[in-house]
Structure 1
Amino acid sequence: MVQEVTPFLMFEKDAEKAINFYVATFNDAKINHVDYWTKGEAGTESTIKRADFSIGRQNFIALDSPAKHDFTFTPAFSVYIDCSDAAEQENLFSALSTDGAVLMPLRDWGFSQKFAWVNDRFGVSWQLNLPFSDNQN
């Protein structure tokens, strides 16, 4: 039996802002379902208890954790995007790196046409690849 694998993004207060940012940034992204913490539950009222969203065919789950943690996101786990063209890659690089951190600047690193690695303003790590076209391999 094949199990479904879904990236799970745990925030402490910014899940809704992050999800709205991703849906606005990616052309084929949408929010599929959202549940909010209510009064008397473990989480802060009106923050995300669970949200299901997608970017392209990839589903994600996100929440605002009711527990405080001594950790956050790390680039050791990142979301890898094969961009369809240079314009898409440049737009994503600009949006995702604004108020974030550039780990590898957008350029030719020798293994693809162009590549960049960024942490967005929420700490989520993204690898943005522009693969060689079939006739360039």
Structure 2
Amino acid sequence: MKSFLPFITFNGNAMEALTFYKGIFHDMEIEFLQEFGSGTPGLEGQVMQALVSIDGQRIMLGDSRTPEGFGFTPAMSFYIECSDMNEAELYYRKLKRDGAILVPLDEYGTGRFFAFVQDRFGLSWQLNFNK
């Protein structure tokens, strides 16, 4: 196997999502970005394929080519082990904006802080910090 990467399919707002996540994850790098061109009517300027890296974790994403919308579900989520409480609170505050809180950021067990949020694009994020 040459590689194994998650691929996230957006409904025409992948570029907006890239900007949103870049504002949250300051170590995010866009390694590759290809937009649809004029040969794909109705998709021009949308993301055909992008490869990003967040803290070394590579993720591919793009916009759907089909008119049917795809949706995200909390059954699949990104799990982040935060290095400190400030980081957990920062991600929580930014990711929940215009999204949904599935489990609020709180202490669940001695010294374990956890949150489960869905961002405005419908992607789910689990945030964990152990003291």
Tell me the TM-score normalised to structure 2 length: 0.92
Give the distance between the partners of 2:41 and 2:30, measured in 1 at CA: 23
Alignment of 1:69-80 (within 5 A): 69-80=68-79
Aligned to 2:64: 65
Runs of 5+ consecutive residues of structure 1 not aligned to the other structure: 133-137
Give the distance between the partners of 2:41 and 2:80, measured in 1 at CA: 35
Give the CA deviation at 1:89. 0.5
8 Å contact from structure 2 (residues 10, 70) kept in 1? no
Alignment of 1:1-137 (within 5 A): 4-41=3-40, 44-110=43-109, 113-132=112-131
8 Å contact from structure 1 (residues 43, 49) kept in 2? no
Give the CA deviation at 1:69. 2.8
Aligned-partner SS, 1:16: helix
Aligned length: 131
CA RMSD of aligned residues (A): 1.7
Runs of 5+ consecutive residues of structure 2 not aligned to the other structure: none
Give the distance between the partners of 1:48 and 1:55, measured in 2 at CA: 18
> Taking every aligned residue pair, what percent have the same amino acid on both sides?
40
Question: Where in structure 1 do 4 or more consecutive aligned residues deviate above 3 Å?
Answer: none
Aligned-partner SS, 1:20: helix
Give the distance between the partners of 2:128 and 2:30, measured in 1 at CA: 24
